[in-house]
Amino acid sequence: MNESSATNFDELYSRIKAERPISLDFSQEPKKPEPTLDEARDDLAKSVSEIAHALFAKRFGPLVGSVTQTTVNAVLKDVEKSAYRLKGDVTLVAEEFIDRALNKKRKK
């Protein structure tokens, strides 16, 4: 190796050491906050109402979009309440089945 290539390697090596290392950790970027359940419900209701307005405004009138939005919002709230109750009921039934299955094995 001649002197010029050795000098180039030394310069290259010192430049690499001086530069900041590449970071592949993207967790430091600020992320958009996740929408709340109310915001997500409102967005879905708004989207459905816009579609309903585009499809049915000529036939049923200009208020079909706003009526659809409030209806979809109310239906989604009722579905959430029903799902929460259903979750509790399923949990109760599953616990009862497990208790009965374990008690039968202990009695035998």
Distance linking the first and last C-alpha atoms of the chain: 86
Q: Specify the pLDDT at position 107.
A: 57
Q: Nearest to residue 44, comparing CAs of 87, 75, 81, 82? A: 75
Give the model confidence (pLDDT) of 10-25 as tens digits: 888 888 888 877 766 6
Say which residues have a Cβ less than 8 Å from residue 70's Cβ, sequence separation at least 6. 45
Q: Specify the pLDDT at position 8.
A: 81
| Residue numbers in the chain where pLDDT is lower than 70 | 1-3, 23-31, 105-108
What DSSP character marks residue 27? T
Q: Specify the pLDDT at position 29.
A: 60
